[in-house]
Structure 1
Amino acid sequence: MTKDQLLTRLLTRRRAMLAGTAAVGAAGTAALLAAVTGEEPVRPPAAPAAGPLARRPLKPSAYRLQPLTGYGPPRTVPARPLVRREPFLRISGRGRTMVLTFDDGPDPRYTPAILDTLAEYDVRAMFFVCGEMAADHRELLARMAEEGHVVGNHTWSHPLLTRLSRAQIHSQMERTSDVVEEAYGERPQWFRAPYGAWNRAAFQLGAELGMEPLAWTVDTLDWTTPGTRTIVSRVENGAAPGVVVLSHDAGGDRSQSVRALRDYLPQLLDSGYHVTVPRRQHI
């Protein structure tokens, strides 16, 4: 072996020894830090294996950035309705459009049967509910929401508003709107005064709560239990474009109202009427 070969071998062996010493030193330092801090030493990632495992996607970080919302467009606040001096009595719309409304519920004895008939003919209606009834039968309001009906505010306990103070009227309306929002999913946009007794305070407070006043064109007087045939005749004789029909699904025996709906609804549809619910911009 020549002198040059011997020198090369000695240098190679020295480099290997130095590299081994550095590795041992690093491992010793990591072990010392783990003993002091109680943490696991950080190990370098292993080289990816060959084959399908090498193409496995990395797991997402547990500290992903959340999208910022401060730069999005501001939410639009619905405009407060005008303070009316009288309620709407009918709706405007194209063709032979009518609205069916039911007051005083929901009542588990009659409201489900009315909803069943409406669903059978794929028709939407309005239900002006009393808060104390809605609070006890929230599941019926949830069904109304699922089936596309409109729920309006008919006060909490159906009082004569003209005999109440402004504070009492506000409480009657607001409590009912709160229950409707919880059970139906949104606050009512319509209200109807019990007995059709409106005053300036009712119009003002209704507008403050974001609601428009809606009365009716045809009163079936079903609360007097005049007989199923009489109720049907009143609806059929009063049918006309834009008409709003008043019936009841609570407040007494409403079995006649349930049977009457089964009679006059298909007849209205066969006569070419489009039975629907109003939209505020179209009334």
Structure 2
Amino acid sequence: MLTRRRVLFAGAAAAGAATTGALVTGRGDGSARPVAPAPGPPARRPLKPSAYRLQPLTGYGAPSAAPRRTPVRSEPILRMPARGRTMMLTFDDGPDPRFTPDILDTLARYDVRATFFVCGEMADYNRDLLSRMADEGHVVGNHTWSHPLLTRLDRRGIRSEMERTSEVVEQAYGEPPRWFRAPYGAWNRAAFQLGAELGMEPLAWTVDTLDWTTPGTRTIVERVEDGAAPGVVVLSHDAGGDRSQSVRALRSYLPGLLDSGYHLTVPRRHYV
């Protein structure tokens, strides 16, 4: 005979089994066996605090190395390491809308890249030409703002000349210049130090065409052809005066260099 207390205990046990969905079922031998969980995604176990700290925040893999600082040199780079018959063509003082487009047209015709060391005051008025240089794969370097003799300026003056030009180049070209050339080839310790602080390497030249003296188209061509050699850096001009001889000379010697097996390229840095 069931007492009231036993009836209450039996009811409570039955209600508990219904609520949990019967986690076990009885077997004939009186033992219990597990029952498959209800349909749906399994519940995830919460991570421990230490496990949360192991989760990457911005991606996977090891963090990228910090960029190396630009070295401070005591002299400019005169030629570039090269494998085989590789040369570089560089043009100073522009861009000039009278001559630079013709030079760019010739380079594009032969699918050749060059380096243009621009003056800030010229670049500021001809930003479209810097944009074209970027679109066509040329390198743009810093040639100061107004082409002064740096050895006559103090550090503040040199920095201003460099910084103003770098700002214009970055705005029109899309990135700041990584190469610098001192006007007249007049380098000093301050120029090397300040250039490095702005992330620029000093690049000079190996072959000077002296085209700024307007010696004649044939003479410019001969100077380039006679000086051609692996790693050579050729200096010409696309501004600063009448550069029509330079334009015609490029049209003459460029196909000749290519026919001789030379590869015309741009300077590259092995770090950023």
Mapped to 2, the partners of 1:255 and 1:126 lie a distance apart of 19
Mapped to 2, the partners of 1:241 and 1:75 lie a distance apart of 34
Three-state SS of the structure 2 residue aligned to 1:135 is: helix
C-alpha displacement of 1:75 = 7.0
Three-state SS of the structure 2 residue aligned to 1:281 is: coil
Mapped to 1, the partners of 2:218 and 2:64 lie a distance apart of 50
1:198 equivalent in structure 2: 187
Mapped to 1, the partners of 2:200 and 2:71 lie a distance apart of 9
2:93 equivalent in structure 1: 104
In the alignment, structure 1 residue 121 sits paired with structure 2 residue 104: no
C-alpha displacement of 1:267 = 0.1
In the alignment, structure 1 residue 171 sits paired with structure 2 residue 160: yes
1:272 equivalent in structure 2: 261
Larger helix fraction of residues: 1
Mapped to 1, the partners of 2:97 and 2:64 lie a distance apart of 38
Match 2:58 to one of 51, 71, 84: 71
Tell me the amino acid that sits aligned with residue 119 of structure 2.
C
Superposition pairs for residues 33-72 of structure 1, below 5 Å? 71-72=58-59
C-alpha displacement of 1:79 = 2.1
Taking structure 2 as the reference length, the TM-score comes to: 0.76
1:153 equivalent in structure 2: 142
Three-state SS of the structure 1 residue aligned to 2:196 is: helix
Tell me the amino acid that sits aligned with residue 138 of structure 2.
H
2:52 equivalent in structure 1: none
Superposition pairs for residues 178-257 of structure 1, below 5 Å? 178-257=167-246
Mapped to 2, the partners of 1:183 and 1:259 lie a distance apart of 28
2:76 equivalent in structure 1: 87
CA RMSD of aligned residues (A): 1.5
C-alpha displacement of 1:72 = 4.0
1:147-176 Cα distance to aligned partner (Å, 9 max, x none): 000000000000000000000000100110
Three-state SS of the structure 2 residue aligned to 1:113 is: helix
Mapped to 2, the partners of 1:209 and 1:176 lie a distance apart of 11
1:9 equivalent in structure 2: none
1:193-235 Cα distance to aligned partner (Å, 9 max, x none): 0000000000000000000000000000000000000000000
Mapped to 1, the partners of 2:233 and 2:102 lie a distance apart of 21
Superposition pairs for residues 16-35 of structure 1, below 5 Å? none
Mapped to 2, the partners of 1:223 and 1:119 lie a distance apart of 23
In the alignment, structure 1 residue 258 sits paired with structure 2 residue 243: no
Q: Would you say how many aligned residue pairs link Structure 1 and Structure 2?
A: 214
Mapped to 2, the partners of 1:225 and 1:142 lie a distance apart of 29
1:62 equivalent in structure 2: none
1:1-60 Cα distance to aligned partner (Å, 9 max, x none): xxxxxxxxxxxxxxxxxxxxxxxxxxxxxxxxxxxxxxxxxxxxxxxxxxxxxxxxxxxx
Mapped to 1, the partners of 2:236 and 2:69 lie a distance apart of 29
Mapped to 2, the partners of 1:89 and 1:207 lie a distance apart of 17
Mapped to 1, the partners of 2:232 and 2:91 lie a distance apart of 14
Three-state SS of the structure 1 residue aligned to 2:191 is: helix
Q: 1:131 to 1:77 in 2, by over 3 A?
A: farther
Mapped to 1, the partners of 2:124 and 2:59 lie a distance apart of 37
Tell me the amino acid that sits aligned with residue 79 of structure 2.
R
C-alpha displacement of 1:93 = 1.6
2:151 equivalent in structure 1: 162
Structure 2 unpaired stretches of 5+ = 1-55
Three-state SS of the structure 1 residue aligned to 2:129 is: helix
C-alpha displacement of 1:77 = 5.2
C-alpha displacement of 1:244 = 0.1
Structure 1 unpaired stretches of 5+ = 1-68
Tell me the amino acid that sits aligned with residue 87 of structure 1.
P
1:233-255 Cα distance to aligned partner (Å, 9 max, x none): 00000000000000000000000
Three-state SS of the structure 2 residue aligned to 1:280 is: coil
